[in-house]
């Protein structure tokens, strides 16, 4: 089938794609029972199961993974001797982060005047799921390869359900090529292959100095302030330029890929006028080739309701993003060691490892990579670029370790305007259409 014929088929399916996405966004599939009823994920998994059957997949099942979530799986064999391609996405989403911050309802797909479709998960990652379904509908029976499709149910929680399932049953997702649809383009309309991901080391730091809070007038001065100790320890993790100063971290690898102009980053990130970017490297280096430390949250007396008391205990959640070349175990040891040695006044320090993942480097050559790059260029009508991504997808490391000979590539409908994980998440429908077309082109060609 020609590219023009496939493009016509995909275009004709976009109204169905919108209906699919509207139904998917309507499920409040946050895989955290403390925030949303588990029935929401159950209902979404049932919808995905029906959709897999509708696009002609066989052996469709929704096994319960070791973390309690369901991973929906289906497959279709290719012609004799043809390779198999695994397509990945996830159907769980981030919580809305305050529905009052949304201009339209978080769980109602809404088209606004800018033409974008708004709703939680519209891009990350239900939009990618819809792109998979649209590509398979466009192809019908005209597949040159075998296809396996997996939709994870707990990716956003990082609880490792699918990773554990793969370790239990490696044959389930075995394939010669793996397309992870959970990233996106450097900018709207620019076809992009993501070739590296940062790893992560998350710690929760607790500092205790007193048996309990003390009146700041009676005891303040000599009484050691736990919040002050915490602030001092956190301040030592970065220098005045914003560079990470965890001394024992290995040297990262140099960045040799796509540039990211500072003015573009300021616009994409919404940096306020007059506020400087942090770090002494280029934006691309700081994002994709250097460690990045963020204090995600602090437990301390809130301003409203606080009393005139010396805090006895304070906590912080710290995230250290890791570029290729710095492993999670090394980073965790380095961060733990620096925090323990930096505690002032003999303060008691407790460090809890919340989670970690190694960085990932995907395929940059090979027949599948070349075929997918060419398919992206045909679908978008322009040359492709490669980029790193600052986020982490621990599953990719499991896939690489389990299937070392597979080519692993990352694409998707997400681009900076999507505001994934933030209020008012959206997707540009042209990205769903083009990614679906690129995937259809890719799957219609035999990978040699």
Which stretch of DSSP H or E encloses residue 73?
strand 72-76
- Give the active site residue among 20, 40, 152, 155: 155
317, burial (CB in 10 Å: exposed 0-12, middle 13-18, buried 19+): middle
Contacts of 241 (CB under 8 A, 6+ apart): 278, 279, 280
As a whole number of angstroms, the distance between CA 289 and CA 292 comes to 9
Please state at what angle helix 161-168 crosses helix 394-402, rounded to 10 degrees: 10
Q: Take residue 288 and report the two structure tokens written for it.
A: 């994709």
- What order of strands is seen across the sheet that includes strand 199-208? 292-299, 313-322, 199-208, 348-357
Q: Take residue 114 and report the two structure tokens written for it.
A: 């800018």
Q: Take residue 360 and report the two structure tokens written for it.
A: 């990932």
Which of left, alpha, beta for 98 (phi over 0: left; psi -120 to 50: alpha)?
Answer: left
For the question of residue 92 being annotated catalytic, the response is yes
As a whole number of angstroms, the distance between CA 396 and CA 183 comes to 12
As a whole number of angstroms, the distance between CA 135 and CA 412 comes to 13
Contacts of 8 (CB under 8 A, 6+ apart): none
- Given the DSSP bridges, would you call strands 146-152 and 84-90 parallel, antiparallel or unpaired? parallel
Contacts of 217 (CB under 8 A, 6+ apart): 308
As a whole number of angstroms, the distance between CA 431 and CA 124 comes to 13
- Give the active site residue among 20, 40, 92, 124: 92
For the question of residue 111 being annotated catalytic, the response is no
Catalytic residues: 92, 155
């Amino acid at each position: 089938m020609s590219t023009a014929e496939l493009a016509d088929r995909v275009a004709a399916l976009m109204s169905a794609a919108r209906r699919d996405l509207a139904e998917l966004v309507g499920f409040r599939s946050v895989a955290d029972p403390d925030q949303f009823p588990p029935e929401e994920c159950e209902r979404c998994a049932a919808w995905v199961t029906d959709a897999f059957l509708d696009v002609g997949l066989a052996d469709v099942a929704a096994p319960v993974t070791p973390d309690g979530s369901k991973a929906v799986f289906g497959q279709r064999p290719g012609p004799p001797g043809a390779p198999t391609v695994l397509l990945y996405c996830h159907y769980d989403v981030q919580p809305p982060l305050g529905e009052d911050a949304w201009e339209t309802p978080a769980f109602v797909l809404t088209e606004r005047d800018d033409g974008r479709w708004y709703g939680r998960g519209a891009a990350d990652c239900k939009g990618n799921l819809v792109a998979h379904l649209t590509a398979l509908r466009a192809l019908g029976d005209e597949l040159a390869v075998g296809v396996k499709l997996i939709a994870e149910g707990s990716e956003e929680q990082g609880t490792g359900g699918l990773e554990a399932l793969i370790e239990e049953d490696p044959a389930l997702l075995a394939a010669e090529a793996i397309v992870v649809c959970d990233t996106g383009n450097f900018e709207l309309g620019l076809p992009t292959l993501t070739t590296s991901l940062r790893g992560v080391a998350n710690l929760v730091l607790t500092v205790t100095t007193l048996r309990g809070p003390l009146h700041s007038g009676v005891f303040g001065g000599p009484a050691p302030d736990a919040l002050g100790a915490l602030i001092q320890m956190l301040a030592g993790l970065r220098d005045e330029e914003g560079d990470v100063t965890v001394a024992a971290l290995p040297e990262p690898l140099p960045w040799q890929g796509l540039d990211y102009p500072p003015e573009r980053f300021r616009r994409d990130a919404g940096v306020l006028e007059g506020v400087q970017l942090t770090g002494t490297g280029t934006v691309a280096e700081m994002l994709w080739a250097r460690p990045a430390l963020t204090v995600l949250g602090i437990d301390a007396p809130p301003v409203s309701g606080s009393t005139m008391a010396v805090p006895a205990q304070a906590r912080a959640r710290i995230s250290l993003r890791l570029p290729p070349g710095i492993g999670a175990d090394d980073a965790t040891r380095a961060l733990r060691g620096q925090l323990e040695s930096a505690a002032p006044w003999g303060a008691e320090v407790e460090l809890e490892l919340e989670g970690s993942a190694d960085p990932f480097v995907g395929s940059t050559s090979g027949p599948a990579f070349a075929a997918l790059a060419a398919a992206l260029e045909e679908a978008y009508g322009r040359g492709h670029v490669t980029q790193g991504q600052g986020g982490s997808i621990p599953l990719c490391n499991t896939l690489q370790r389990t299937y070392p000979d597979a080519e692993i590539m990352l694409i998707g409908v997400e681009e900076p305007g999507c505001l994934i994980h933030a209020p008012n998440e959206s997707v540009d429908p042209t990205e769903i259409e083009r990614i679906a077309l690129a995937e259809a082109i890719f799957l219609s060609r035999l990978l040699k």
